[in-house]
Amino acid sequence: MNKKSSSAKAKLRCDICGKRFKKGGSRYRINLEIISDFDGHIEDLSKKPEDYLEKKMDKILDETKEMTEKELEEEIYLKRNWLVCIKKN
Output 17 or 78, the one with its CB closest to Zn ion.
Answer: 17
16 near Zn ion (CB under 5 A): yes
Binding footprint of Zn ion, residue count (CB under 5 A): 5
85 near Zn ion (CB under 5 A): yes
The CB-side HSE value for 70 (13 A sphere, CA atoms) comes to 0
DSSP class per residue in 35-76:
E---------GGGS-TTHHHHHHHHHHHHHTTS-HHHHHHHH
67 near Zn ion (CB under 5 A): no
**Contacts with Zn ion, residue ranges (CB under 5 A):** 14, 16-17, 19, 85
